Structure 1
Amino acid sequence: MKEIILVRHGKPASAHNQKVNAVDYAKWVRNYNKSELDPNSQPRKKVCLENSYIGVSPLHRAKCSAAYYGASHIHEELADLREMDIPYYHLPFTLKAWHWVVISRALWFLGRKGRFERFTDAKQRVERLAVYLDTLSKQEPRIVLFGHGMAHFFLRKSLVKQKWRITEKDGEFWGVTRLEKM
């Protein structure tokens, strides 16, 4: 039995939800991407990391989460595991930050371009990662990855297409998603 465990990062300290205009939303995204973890953000449960191949996204919040979790050795930093960009557009609104995220991601899914990775490119990157992980699992039967919500969502979908079975799913901060394959 092979297992891939996806652990979403802890809540970033900058993940507030104040009202912001487009310029301040772009700053919010930059701060979110380099934020430390909220000291009050704790895992609801912890996965045992023994006998696991540990991979981590290159983004700071994922690395901090792996360290907080007790990962004493990271086997690989996976560039393809980084979060799908949080897009930002210069729209004439003042909204709560997380409403900006939802609207911006919806426009991004529909193909609207900006100064960030295109949605189709992000999906291809995550699909490439799924193929890599499926191959890696032949040598490393238990893989634990510290990454991000949207990247994990599409990675999970790509792994299911490769005959991985979801046995546990939680996309919240510190959430754990488990997939197994015979």
Structure 2
Amino acid sequence: MTKIILMRHGKPLLPGTGWIAPAEMGRWIESYNRSEIAAESIPAISLDLASSASCVAASTLPRALLSVQALGQMPSVTDAVFCEATLPFATWRRPRLPPAMWAAFFRLAWFFGYSRGSDSFRATQARSKMAAEKLVDLAKAGSVLLVGHGIMNRLIAKELVAMGWSGPQKHKNHYWSASVYVLQP
């Protein structure tokens, strides 16, 4: 049975943990996008799923590519269409908060239409549809593993379901988690 496996990359090594202003988030996001992954044990189920795929796809971000290597695989396809939904930020100089708090705040604002410095939610939805179509096309030759990212994997999963694929009711979102989708006859 052909399947599409959406797997989230390994835990990234986060850039700077001090408090920053929103205006500094652009630089923090760039550092995060260049981040590597932490050395950690990979769940056996993730390794098994990776070895079962005939095609491995990945985003072009380092944490996804390094995760593919950690799984003992080589990517067959790398494409920016699978990259994480970009995170917006603002030019305010105050207040200063931990980057993780700003990331959560701006991700929530993004869902409500704020997109300064990033693609809009609608543009990202359109990209997730292209990503899902690419995965479905790759799945014509056998099972596909996508090593991607949290928000983007959720959006791709929604598109796969709309295209007749079935998978878990709730998409998993922790590092190395995987959700398996199969085409309904």
Q: 1:34 to 1:180 in 2, by over 3 A?
A: same
One-letter amino acid of the structure 2 residue matched with residue 55 of structure 1: A
- Structure 2 unaligned regions, length at least 5: none
Shift of 1:74: 1.7
Shift of 1:18: 4.1
Count of residue pairs brought into register by the alignment: 179
Instruction: Work out the CA distance in 1 between the residues paired with 2:165 and 2:15.
Output: 32
Shift of 1:176: 1.1
- Structure 1 unaligned regions, length at least 5: none
1:75 is matched with 76
Cα deviation code 1:122-166 (max 9, x no counterpart): 11001111122223322x220001111111010111111111111
Between Structure 1 and Structure 2, the one with more helix by share is 2
- Scaled by the length of structure 2, what TM-score is found? 0.87
One-letter amino acid of the structure 2 residue matched with residue 85 of structure 1: T
2:142 is matched with 141
Shift of 1:25: 2.7
Shift of 1:30: 1.3
SS in structure 1 opposite 2:65?
Answer: helix
Do the aligned residues in 2 keep the contact of 1:171 with 1:177 (CA within 8 Å)?
Answer: no
Equivalences for 1:1-182 in 2 at 5 Å? 1-14=1-14, 17-39=17-39, 41-45=40-44, 46-48=46-48, 49-71=51-73, 73-91=74-92, 92-138=94-140, 140-167=141-168, 169-182=171-184
Do the aligned residues in 2 keep the contact of 1:59 with 1:82 (CA within 8 Å)?
Answer: yes
Between Structure 1 and Structure 2, the one with more strand by share is 1
RMSD: 1.9
The percentage of counterpart residues that share the same residue type is 25
Instruction: Work out the CA distance in 2 between the residues paired with 1:16 and 1:172.
Output: 21
Do the aligned residues in 1 keep the contact of 2:53 with 2:142 (CA within 8 Å)?
Answer: no
Instruction: Work out the CA distance in 1 between the residues paired with 2:41 and 2:27.
Output: 26
Give the stretch that moved more between structures: 145-154 or 23-32: 23-32
Shift of 1:17: 5.0
SS in structure 2 opposite 1:125?
Answer: helix
Cα deviation code 1:42-75 (max 9, x no counterpart): 322323324521111011110000011100x321
- Scaled by the length of structure 1, what TM-score is found? 0.88
One-letter amino acid of the structure 1 residue matched with residue 145 of structure 2: V
Instruction: Work out the CA distance in 1 between the residues paired with 2:20 and 2:54.
Output: 42
